[in-house]
Structure 1
Amino acid sequence: MAPVVKIAVIQLYPKPLQLESNFLKASNFIRAAALQGAQLAVLPEYHLTNWMPKDPGFIPLCRQWESYLKRYQALAKELGICIVPGTIVESHDGGGGAEEKDRLLNVAYFIDGEGEVRGKYVKKNLWGPERAHLTGSGREDHPVFDTPFGKVGMLICWDLAFPEAFRELIAQGAKMIIVPTFWTLSDCNEAGLKLNPSAEALFLDSMLTARAFENTCAIVFANAGGPPGRGYAGLSQVTVPFVGALTRLGSCAEGMSVVEVDMQILEDAEENYQVRSDLARDDWHYDYRHSATKGKL
Structure 2
Amino acid sequence: MNLRIAALQMTPTRAQDNETRLARGLNEAAAQGATLLLAPELALSGYNQSAEALRDVASEVPAAIKRLAQKVKETGVALALGVPRIEDDQLFNSAVLITPEDGVVLTYDKCHLFGEEERATFAQGNRRSRLVNWNGLKVGLLICYDVEFPEMVRSLALDGMQLALVPTALPKVGDITTVSDRYIPTRAFENGIFVAYAGLSGVENGMTYLGGSHIAAPDCRTLAKCGEDEALLIADLDTGLVGRSDRSGPYLRDRRPELYR
Give me the TM-score of the superposition, normalised by structure 2.
0.91
- Correspondent of 2:120 among 132, 142, 145: 132
Q: 1:240 to 1:60 in 2, by over 3 A?
A: same
Question: In the aligned structure 2, how far is the partner of 1:270 from the partner of 1:109?
Answer: 33
Q: Aligned-pair distance for 1:59? A: 1.7
Deviation at residue 113 of structure 1 after TM alignment = 2.2
Aligned partners of 2:196 and 2:215 also within 8 Å: yes
Deviations 1:157-194 (CA, angstroms, capped at 9, x unpaired): 010211111111011101110100011122xxxxxx3x
SS in 1 for 2:254: helix
The residue that corresponds to 2:257 in the other structure is 284
Deviation of residue 243 (structure 1)? 4.3
> What RMSD over aligned residues (CA atoms) do the two structures have, in Å?
2.1
Q: Note the alpha carbon deviations across 1:9-56, whole angstroms, 9 max, x for none.
A: 1100011xx111111011111101101110111100111221244264
Q: 1:287 to 1:142 in 2, by over 3 A?
A: farther
Residue 213 of structure 2 is matched in structure 1 by 236
Contact 1:76 1:115 in 2 (8 A): no
CA distances 1:103-150 after superposition (whole Å, capped 9, x unpaired):
101111111122422222111000112001111212x24322222232
Q: Distance in 2 between matches of 1:166 and 1:41?
A: 21
8 A Cα contact 1:118 1:147, kept in partner: no
Task: Give the match for residue 216 of structure 1.
Answer: 192
Determine the C-alpha separation between the residues in 2 that align with 1:270 and 1:217. 13
Q: How many residues align?
A: 259
Amino acid at match of 2:42: Y
For 2:135 and 2:218, the matched residues in 1 are separated by 21
Query: Shift in Å at residue 231 of structure 1?
Result: 2.8
2-structure distance, mates of 1:206, 1:26: 27
Taking structure 1 as reference, are residues 61 and 266 closer, same or farther at Cα in structure 2, changes over 3 Å only? same
In the superposition, relative to structure 1, how do residues 144 and 271 fare at CA in structure 2: closer, same or farther (>3 Å)?
A: farther
2:137 corresponds in structure 1 to 150
CA contact (8 A) 1:178 1:220 kept: yes
Counterpart of 2:85 (choices 81, 87, 90) is: 90
User: Which residue is 1:258 aligned to?
Assistant: 234
Give the deviation of 1:7 after TM superposition: 0.6
Q: Which of 114, 117, 132 pairs up with 2:104?
A: 117
Q: Map residues 146-185 of structure 1 onto 2, 5 A cutoff.
A: 146-185=133-172
**Map of 1:177-196 to 2, 5 A cutoff?**
177-186=164-173, 193=174
Q: Name the CA distance, whole Å, in 1 between partners of 2:163 and 2:62.
A: 26
Q: TM-score, normalised by structure 1?
A: 0.81
The gaps in structure 1 that reach 5 residues or longer are 95-100, 187-192, 194-198, 289-297
Structure 1 position 266, deviation (Å):
2.3
CA distance in 1: counterparts of 2:53 and 2:6, whole angstroms: 31
Give the counterpart of 1:33 among 22, 26, 29. 29
Q: 1:72 aligns with which of 58, 68, 74?
A: 68
Give the aligned residue type for 2:101: E
- The percentage of counterpart residues that share the same residue type is 25
- The CA distance in 1 between the partners of 2:64 and 2:202, in whole Å, is 22
2:86 alignment partner AA: S
Aligned-residue offset at 1:65: 1.0
Q: Distance in 1 between matches of 2:56 and 2:141?
A: 26
Q: Where is the strand percentage greater, Structure 1 or Structure 2?
A: 2
After superposition, the Cα gap between the structure-2 partners of 1:208 and 1:116, relative to the gap in structure 1 and judged at 3 Å, is same
When Rg is computed on C-alpha atoms for both structures, the one with the higher figure is 1
Does residue 10 (structure 1) correspond to residue 8 (structure 2)? The answer is: yes
